[in-house]
Chain A
């Protein structure tokens, strides 16, 4: 039986978008392998009703499963793999997925392929395309099932993962490990800060390391003002403290889909692209013609940003005035 098990990631009491992507991918894979789609919902309570794309939703409840603690969820995923014996396990390549995938793969002796952008059934195997080296290289692998795959967000359409399953339910006993965990949840924090929500912005001017330093942010801010845009940033800029984390775009920041996304001095590492590739119009400025950002941008230029930003700001002000 070529069953595909999807680990359903939740956050803030909702099903994370990546889970719908995985369910959609699972439906196609399961069809190719001659099996069904099972969704593992650990500590998710009534979220099961949203998992219509699964043929069976396997629920596990235990106080230790919520709030999220990695050790508990690895134990549950490993147990589910042992008892349900799926041929393919899909996990999101996210902060949570990084905690789980390798641990569960090692515990059950199955191969794991990470950073997957694409998956296809091929006889008794799965052919996966993964990105390595900051997105500079794509690796194609062929793995005989049973195996585990960690999938990068944004690789599959969410819509395909909302419905189409048989809607069955099952429960699984929580593994005994949950009563002797060595990890405890202490507290959670939502991003505070100025209350800016860049996910609601229609236009974003996003800065990367190429901006050079916090003293140059002014240039981007002037352009943003002229465009009526918000300011966003890549991870290194926020890690360096030049801008608050609430403005971070990417895998460990926000996912945005504005009408206009200006990427200024951003190289386009996969973790960043994940957060903005669905923007309607992407214009990228980077001195390196080979920067990966140009693969997702609609328009690009290697013009020096220190010249272009003020020139563009002037031009836009002139048009408006």
Chain B
């Protein structure tokens, strides 16, 4: 279209031609209109934060949208977040800020490496500093600060689960000695009833294997990885310093933990604070030892398995839990469609564990509800997990989707224990 030259136009106030009104003011509608500028201040507010620059790399290809677990139950993806902030939505006060679970499926497929795992915590930190925190999450932060765990349980009771384990467990503050393995129990295995079931199963398995191990008992505090991703880096650092000091009091050759989030923290974040420990997730520790367990019975279950985001996508471990399942006698294993790298998040990561009341108002159903339906579709009667967040999330989802009795949820260690009885 040729550019209109103002000096060579003539504008008549009123002009009629063959019955048509072609008065001067109509001409303006056919002038070339170019938007030279639009207000990118909301987008800049995000990309100017250290760690959140990559949101600006997005070129709207949309590969992330089908990968994002939240889009299936809402309207969400990094591409959409970019577009919304570009058009003026303030991410710092938007509910969108709290829907991301940092599952990383987007980063896995993004050609421009828009990194939500880095962007979300950076923006959340600013929002938290300004007092914009959903109340349930605020409570989790306060509980962690006051009691060393997000559940708000007394620190003194952290090792109470040991009493009913049926086997002796070395609690290092009480029985200080060097051990081979320091087992980091973490909060949900210490306090949640279903977590305690798994912790006891693990204790019995360790004894059956003759492992030289101990736990920190009431001196153990949350690894705070999820709190870090939910916007409380200060809390993470403070508790990490305390944990590092506590760990420094004891002698151990390596760490093994129940929790992929703790695994992620010790493997990837604590070294940044100067503390490096050889660390494994308990499935990595146990998988090679499965052959030496004295199995007593076959478990006649058809099972499927859910990959925890922080063991799988974030830290590359998909095989160890599967090896364990293969070696437990009797289990028939069926893979879910969305598995391994493409696994579908349970909704607990990135603070999601403490945002259910919030996300319920912004999604059509919970991610965990979506996932249990997928598990049932495989024809399996049992969903096997290996992250402490998951048993309670999936058991709740089984009930809330009206599938009670159709799907059992077990931690893989509970199956190991069952087959040893």
**In-complex A–B contact (CB below 8 Å):** yes
Task: Give residues in A with beta carbon < 8 Å to B.
Answer: 212-213, 215, 307
Q: Are A212 and B399 in contact (CB under 8 A)?
A: no
Q: Are A307 and B399 in contact (CB under 8 A)?
A: yes
Smallest CB gap from A216: residue in B? B357
Q: Is B4 an interface residue when CB atoms closer than 8 A count as contact?
A: no
Q: Is B360 an interface residue when CB atoms closer than 8 A count as contact?
A: yes
CB-based closest 6 A-B pairs = A213-B357, A215-B360, A215-B357, A212-B357, A307-B399, A215-B361
- 7 residue pairs A–B, Cβ–Cβ below 8 Å: A212-B357, A213-B136, A213-B357, A215-B357, A215-B360, A215-B361, A307-B399
Q: Mark B180-208, 1 if CB is under 8 A from A, else 0.
A: 00000000000000000000000000000
B contact residues around A215 at 8 Å (CB): 357, 360-361
Bound state CA distance, A215 and B363, in angstroms? Answer: 14
Interface of B is mostly: helix
Bound state CA distance, A212 and B354, in angstroms? Answer: 12
B contact residues around A213 at 8 Å (CB): 136, 357
Near A by CB (< 8 A), chain B positions 123-158 give: 136
B379 to chain A minimum Cβ distance, whole angstroms, is 27
Interface size band for B: under 10
A212 to chain B minimum Cβ distance, whole angstroms, is 7
A87 to chain B minimum Cβ distance, whole angstroms, is 44
Near A by CB (< 8 A), chain B positions 357-415 give: 357, 360-361, 399
Task: Give residues in B with beta carbon < 8 Å to A.
Answer: 136, 357, 360-361, 399
Bound state CA distance, A212 and B136, in angstroms? Answer: 9
Smallest CB gap from A240: residue in B? B135
Bound state CA distance, A212 and B139, in angstroms? Answer: 12
Smallest CB gap from A304: residue in B? B193
Smallest CB gap from B399: residue in A? A307
A contact residues around B360 at 8 Å (CB): 215
B contact residues around A307 at 8 Å (CB): 399
A303 to chain B minimum Cβ distance, whole angstroms, is 12
A138 to chain B minimum Cβ distance, whole angstroms, is 22
Smallest CB gap from B400: residue in A? A306
A contact residues around B399 at 8 Å (CB): 307
Bound state CA distance, A212 and B358, in angstroms? Answer: 12
A contact residues around B136 at 8 Å (CB): 213
Bound state CA distance, A213 and B361, in angstroms? Answer: 12
Smallest CB gap from A214: residue in B? B357
A contact residues around B357 at 8 Å (CB): 212-213, 215
Bound state CA distance, A213 and B359, in angstroms? Answer: 13
A150 to chain B minimum Cβ distance, whole angstroms, is 31
A42 to chain B minimum Cβ distance, whole angstroms, is 43
A contact residues around B361 at 8 Å (CB): 215
Bound state CA distance, A212 and B399, in angstroms? Answer: 17
Bound state CA distance, A212 and B357, in angstroms? Answer: 8
Bound state CA distance, A212 and B361, in angstroms? Answer: 14
Bound state CA distance, A233 and B357, in angstroms? Answer: 20
Smallest CB gap from B404: residue in A? A307
Bound state CA distance, A215 and B358, in angstroms? Answer: 10
Bound state CA distance, A215 and B360, in angstroms? Answer: 9
Bound state CA distance, A129 and B326, in angstroms? Answer: 64
Bound state CA distance, A231 and B357, in angstroms? Answer: 22
A233 to chain B minimum Cβ distance, whole angstroms, is 17
Bound state CA distance, A213 and B137, in angstroms? Answer: 13
B148 to chain A minimum Cβ distance, whole angstroms, is 19
A242 to chain B minimum Cβ distance, whole angstroms, is 11
A309 to chain B minimum Cβ distance, whole angstroms, is 12
Bound state CA distance, A143 and B136, in angstroms? Answer: 45
A107 to chain B minimum Cβ distance, whole angstroms, is 39
Smallest CB gap from A310: residue in B? B399
Bound state CA distance, A226 and B136, in angstroms? Answer: 30
B214 to chain A minimum Cβ distance, whole angstroms, is 30
Bound state CA distance, A208 and B140, in angstroms? Answer: 19
Bound state CA distance, A307 and B361, in angstroms? Answer: 22
B225 to chain A minimum Cβ distance, whole angstroms, is 25
Smallest CB gap from A212: residue in B? B357
Bound state CA distance, A213 and B356, in angstroms? Answer: 11
B contact residues around A212 at 8 Å (CB): 357
Bound state CA distance, A215 and B362, in angstroms? Answer: 13
Bound state CA distance, A215 and B361, in angstroms? Answer: 9
A302 to chain B minimum Cβ distance, whole angstroms, is 11
Bound state CA distance, A215 and B136, in angstroms? Answer: 13
A228 to chain B minimum Cβ distance, whole angstroms, is 27
Bound state CA distance, A41 and B372, in angstroms? Answer: 67
B54 to chain A minimum Cβ distance, whole angstroms, is 34
A237 to chain B minimum Cβ distance, whole angstroms, is 13
Bound state CA distance, A307 and B399, in angstroms? Answer: 9
Bound state CA distance, A6 and B161, in angstroms? Answer: 53
Bound state CA distance, A318 and B418, in angstroms? Answer: 38
Bound state CA distance, A285 and B136, in angstroms? Answer: 22
B173 to chain A minimum Cβ distance, whole angstroms, is 25
A311 to chain B minimum Cβ distance, whole angstroms, is 11
Bound state CA distance, A212 and B135, in angstroms? Answer: 11
Bound state CA distance, A212 and B360, in angstroms? Answer: 13
Bound state CA distance, A212 and B356, in angstroms? Answer: 11
Bound state CA distance, A213 and B136, in angstroms? Answer: 9
Bound state CA distance, A307 and B360, in angstroms? Answer: 19
B152 to chain A minimum Cβ distance, whole angstroms, is 12
Bound state CA distance, A307 and B398, in angstroms? Answer: 12
Bound state CA distance, A307 and B136, in angstroms? Answer: 21
Bound state CA distance, A224 and B399, in angstroms? Answer: 22
A98 to chain B minimum Cβ distance, whole angstroms, is 28
Bound state CA distance, A237 and B361, in angstroms? Answer: 19
Bound state CA distance, A189 and B361, in angstroms? Answer: 34
B403 to chain A minimum Cβ distance, whole angstroms, is 14
Bound state CA distance, A70 and B399, in angstroms? Answer: 54
A207 to chain B minimum Cβ distance, whole angstroms, is 15
Among B136, B357, B361, max chain A CB count under 10 A is at B357
B136 to chain A minimum Cβ distance, whole angstroms, is 8
B157 to chain A minimum Cβ distance, whole angstroms, is 12
Bound state CA distance, A215 and B399, in angstroms? Answer: 17
B36 to chain A minimum Cβ distance, whole angstroms, is 47
A105 to chain B minimum Cβ distance, whole angstroms, is 34
Smallest CB gap from B396: residue in A? A306
Bound state CA distance, A85 and B100, in angstroms? Answer: 69
